[in-house]
Structure 1
Amino acid sequence: MVHRETGSRFETEADEAVEQIGPGRSLRIISSPGGGRSAALNSIVNRLERTGHTAFVVRALRTHRNIPYSAIARLDLRAEPGHPVLRLADDLTAQLTVKPRTLLAIDDIHHVDPYSLAVIEDALRRSNCPLITTAPDDLELTSDHLAVTSTRSETLISLPAAAVVPTRKVRLPPPQYELTPRETEVCALARHCTNLEIANRLHLSVRTVENHISNALRKTGASSRLDLFDLGQGRR
């Protein structure tokens, strides 16, 4: 495992991480609570999607970690008759291998339920796709979680909270730079969703989402997706 600490250098580290992501490799992003690991994962996934990767993103929730298969429910896997873990793993393996340059990203892997972990571990051992995960920096992963991450050669990026998500107030742009309703919707999703997820949620193309984000950055003078998220929330 390669360990890196980063703060204001995150953009550089993210670029380097994207260059290193490849078959049989994994990246784990850790931070303290509120340290921006989900935003970091989204940033890296968006970079990879722009270079032709297809990303399957699992977003685990603390409130669902005791619900069987809840973490992978949104992947729309199909379980044929037989043992559910093995059949779901068959379908996930097929999805991870049917296209080149496919990756799996798991946000908050520590909240993934045991049944989903079993499916993911099986699929990863039968495929060679890259893996990206996030987790708190003060939590030791269980043996079940480590069984998933140990399927790949792992690079660890540590995000100091103050450096990545500083406390700040974002001024709304003057009236002549009003965002359109659609730009506002996109901004409100910019922190917690990748461009592909925003596109699916709003029934848009990824290119249209990219254009809305680019226009919003230009209009507002915002420097990041985090700023756009604050703007989008402020206008809802």
Structure 2
Amino acid sequence: MRTLAIGDIHGGLRGLTQIIDRANVNSEDSLIFLGDYVDGWSESAQVIQYLIELSKTNTCVFIKGNHDVWCEQWLASGIINDVWFEHGGKETIESYDAFSKDQKLMHLHFFEVMPLYHLDAENRLFVHAGFTSMKGVESELHKENFYFDRTLWEMALTMDKNIDQSSVLYPNRLKHYSEIYIGHTPTINFSEDQPMNCGNVWNVDTGATFTGKLSAIDIDTKEVFQSNRVMGLYPDELGRNKK
């Protein structure tokens, strides 16, 4: 039995199915998705449908990301957030053209029940972006931080690798958890195409929405599985993904 943490998908169904195949995922594997399933490539609605079906055969946790919040709001109200529309929402709306009202309602429910974070039995935290409370996620006053915050990752990036987690110099915000797994900030921003580890924080967003790959990591062995560069799987698509 394995537990895999999977980074931001952003409508790249072809990358998702590729990584499921390359990791030889079977029904005994648990899968923790770190959010941002939609917006970017052309198959956002198809990604959600695939994940709904996958949850019938595997134990899955679907963390909510900021793009998922925007998509949920659109499915619930029909109101189009201008920022969302310019950052992948247009492609997501188009991906729903062939979906019925009942299917859209099923997807809306899928978004509505997503947790903002997950804690496992080994005190490992899974969250899309981060949190700011020094007391941990249970004390976070602003829930938006779970899917928008970048300060946790920025702090982890600046840490001295020689400082042990038991040290008084280790950031208190990180001490609450044995490990923290996040997405949201692509590692390709730091010239890395693999998941990055800083302190006890693992960033699994390897830039699938832009020029990077989709990644999954076995949280026990730290073995990494990756798709091809997702942009190569959608060669006919242009736009924001070509950054």
Same fold (TM over 0.5): no
**Higher-helix-fraction structure:** 1
Q: TM-score, normalised by structure 1?
A: 0.29
